[in-house]
Structure 1
């Protein structure tokens, strides 16, 4: 599968689901819309970030499907008025930047690398206030089980289509959805460090997951992810 075919399949499914959700008043009040790629869909990206679901941004109930955005929102941490735009720190973005700083990347190189060599997406493309509202909205239209299965399928297909060197799963539930439910790999999670590592051999893709709000907080997550990347020689700062 190539990225254009992937994009077409995902757009068709999300557009159909969006119309169904809009037609149900309970579901309509629980979701904001769909956001698929945070930035641009890059062929043969080096790093793929997969989170849980998109943030609600401006909070507007736009009920539309957005496939791509101009730039990844992780670069917002470099904006001059970042602290004014974000009332609370954008933890995942700061975490991602800190990981690459720990690998020896300069700020300029991080900005260029994130824009040209990284893809940021989520397991669920639907925008809600929280994970609980995802289930409620999908249950209201009888699509809860199907949506989980499709979300796993689309995420794994994106990995196959882009074949990045590294996939970073931002949350244990996301890691489990792909590594366990799609790859059937067990015993890959380190319960002490609250991180996971798995190598998809036929795709030559390294997978790292971390538990958000795990032991030691985000600072510990950063150190653990850096340690795995370095021990496996996954990325080089040339």
Structure 2
């Protein structure tokens, strides 16, 4: 069965990521340097759904769980529920509004998949890249890109929404595609049969959300 195949492939990916973290943690110097920034690891913020209309890819998890629980997050398995659908933090609110403006309903949002270019949680993007410098010898950039690409292949979405200019640039890097700047706030390209939409952010706010919604509606109708 298809579900069994997807679950098996995800388990293999999950095992590889867990093994990677365990390995670099054994390197005392790298582990000590990373600890300055490390807020944990989370692979998915949604269930693992096959062929959703939309898949979200951000840059990396934030420190929300760490700030709430006072300990690093450690989630390798898919969530039972879609975090954007059930949560009310700022980016979740903005994403709900984006879907509403695009003519998509709550069920479509519930049935999206959400991940990141990097699965390692930090306080902010600046600290992410400072941390990645200490993990460079562990091939962190190539491995992270391969893991995210594997997830995309596994999920097979129709549209990928990159949550931020940096997320868009990271995701399309080394793929032989080029961004088509639709406007000051919207980036677009295609990868095979997939439409890749990126938007600019101001922290957790989608810059010119009405413009982004218009482009998303175009993607949905073409």
Q: TM-score range by the shorter chain?
A: 0.7 to 0.9
Partner residue in 2 for 1:86: none
Distance in 1 (alpha carbons) for counterparts of 2:152 and 2:221: 16
Cα contact 1:32–1:61 (8 A) shared by 2: yes
TM-aligned CA deviation for residue 210 of structure 1: 0.8
TM-score by length of 1: 0.76
Alignment of 1:78-227 (within 5 A): 82=88, 90-105=89-104, 109-110=105-106, 112-115=107-110, 117-143=111-137, 146-182=139-175, 184-190=176-182, 192-201=183-192, 204-213=193-202, 218=206, 220=208, 222-227=209-214
Unaligned runs of 5+ in 2: none
- Deviation of 1:142 after TM superposition, in Å, equals 4.3
Q: Kindly tell me: are residues 157 and 14 of structure 1, through their superposed partners in 2, closer, same or farther at Cα, counting changes over 3 Å? A: closer
- SS of 2:187 mapped into structure 1: strand
Which aligned runs of 4 or more in structure 1 are off by greater than 4 angstroms?
A: none
CA contact (8 A) 1:193 1:224 kept: no
Aligned length: 211
Unaligned runs of 5+ in 1: 83-89
Q: CA deviation at 1:219?
A: 5.4
**Deviations, residues 114-160 of structure 1 (Å, cap 9, x unaligned):** 33x2101111111111223333334334446x212222222222222
CA RMSD of aligned residues (A): 2.7
- Output the CA distance in 2 between the equivalents of 1:31 and 1:233: 37
The aligned residue for residue 64 of structure 1 is 74
